Structure 1
C-alpha cells in the first residue's frame, strides 16, 4: 500500500516523516479560487474540507494508474480572524495587514482533511473532516514583523505564520492539536484512515 500526500507542503511532509510515514508526494494543482467560487456561502469547515477533497480527487486518476493499493490524503488550511477566512497572503503588504489583525489576539486555524482509499486500482471509500485549533498570537514589534516578512516564510502559508518555523517565535500558545496547525492533524488523519479500513500502524512499515 502506498500513502500519497496530495500536497506540495514541506511542513505536512515533515510531520508525516517525523511520525513514521514516508509518503509519495503528488501535487494536486487545484484551482482553489475556482473551487471556492463553486460553493454557496460555505461554513469555514465546509470550505477547507471541500478544498481538501478536491486536492485528493485531483490526483486520484494518476495514483490509481500507478498504485493498485493506496490511500490519498489531501489537506487545506485557513485562518479565521473575526469570522474572516484568511489563506496564503502571497504579497508582503497583505502579510503586513494580516499581522496587524492578528497581533495580540487569537484566531481559529482550520484544516480540512480528505482520505481516499484505492483498492485494485479503484476508489472504494472516502472520509472527510476538519479540525479547528485556537492560536494565540504575541504582539511583535513593527521591526520584528518586517524582519519576519522579509524572510518570505509568511507569504506562502495560511494565516501568514508557521508554528514550526520562524513564526513560532510570535505564537504565545495554542488550544488544540499542534500538528493540525502545522498542516496535517495526526489524530484526525488516524481516525479518517480507520474509517476507510486502514490502521496507521500498518503504514509505519512502509518507511
Structure 2
C-alpha cells in the first residue's frame, strides 16, 4: 500500500486528510519560510509547498514507496502575502484591516513520488469574505491564541468560523489542503485517491 507523507506540522491539514479516509505519516520539513519573501502571494504559496515537499522527500527515513505532499497557505489582501502573524499586535492589525472585506486564500500543493522523483504541483485559491467584526471581538479572538498560529490570522473550522461570512471555492483549501486538487495531482502522477483510503472513507 502506498504511504502518503504529509510534509507539514499543521494539525488542521492532518485532521482534514484523516476525515477524508487518509492517515498520512507526518514528517515536518523545517524549511525556512522567510527565504522567499517578495514573491507574489500565489507563487509564494506554491514555491514554499515545493520546497517543503522536496526537503522531506530527500530524507533517508521516508519510505521508498511514499508519496510526499507539501502544502503552504498564504492570504492575499491588497496584493500583499499574509502568512502567520508575528505577534498578537500584528494579528489585531490584520483583523482591523480585513474586517468587512474579502481576500484570497492561496494554498500551494506539491506532490512527489519518491521512487521516481516525478512531481505534480498547483495552487488552489479560495475567496474568503470576512464579517465586519468589532474591536472587542478582534481582541477576544486574538486573546485565544488561535489566529497566531495560522496563515492570515484566521480559521474557518475553529473559533474564527463565526467571523467568516462566506467563501467562494473549496472549503478544505481554506483549512489548508484542497482534497479535490490533491486527487487531481494524484491522477496526474498515475495514482488513485481511493487507494490511499485505509479502510474506506472515514
For normalisation by structure 1, the TM-score amounts to 0.92
Q: Pick the aligned partner of 2:94 from 93, 98, 102.
A: 98
* Counterpart in the other structure of 2:146: 153
The number of equivalent residue pairs is: 199
* Counterpart in the other structure of 1:33: 34
Q: Secondary structure at the match of 1:7?
A: coil
* Counterpart in the other structure of 2:187: 194
Pair 1:83 & 2:84 matched = no
The whole-number CA distance in structure 2 between the counterparts of 1:110 and 1:137 is: 16
For normalisation by structure 2, the TM-score amounts to 0.94
Q: Pairwise mapping of residues 98-177 of structure 1 onto structure 2 (< 5 A)?
A: 98-119=94-115, 123-177=116-170
* Counterpart in the other structure of 1:73: 69
The whole-number CA distance in structure 2 between the counterparts of 1:10 and 1:206 is: 21
Pair 1:61 & 2:58 matched = yes
Q: Secondary structure at the match of 2:94?
A: helix
- In structure 2, the gaps of 5 or more residues are none
Residues 87-146 of structure 1: CA distance to partner in whole angstroms, max 9, x if unpaired?
100300000010011000000000000000022xxx431001001100000011111111
The list of structure 1 runs, each at least 4 consecutive aligned residues, that deviate by more than 4 angstroms after superposition, is: none
* Counterpart in the other structure of 2:4: 3
The whole-number CA distance in structure 1 between the counterparts of 2:97 and 2:81 is: 12
Q: Secondary structure at the match of 1:8?
A: coil
The whole-number CA distance in structure 2 between the counterparts of 1:85 and 1:199 is: 33
* Counterpart in the other structure of 1:21: 22
Q: Is the 8 A contact 2:74 2:105 kept in 1?
A: yes
The whole-number CA distance in structure 2 between the counterparts of 1:116 and 1:7 is: 14
- In structure 1, the gaps of 5 or more residues are none
Instruction: Note the C-alpha offset of 1:66.
Output: 4.2
Q: Which moved more, 1:9-18 or 1:194-203?
A: 194-203
The alpha-carbon distance between structure 1 residues 97 and 68, as it changes in their structure 2 partners (threshold 3 A), is: same
RMSD: 1.4
The alpha-carbon distance between structure 1 residues 66 and 31, as it changes in their structure 2 partners (threshold 3 A), is: closer
Q: Is the 8 A contact 1:90 1:156 kept in 2?
A: no
Q: Pick the aligned partner of 1:179 from 163, 167, 172.
A: 172
Instruction: Note the C-alpha offset of 1:149.
Output: 0.4
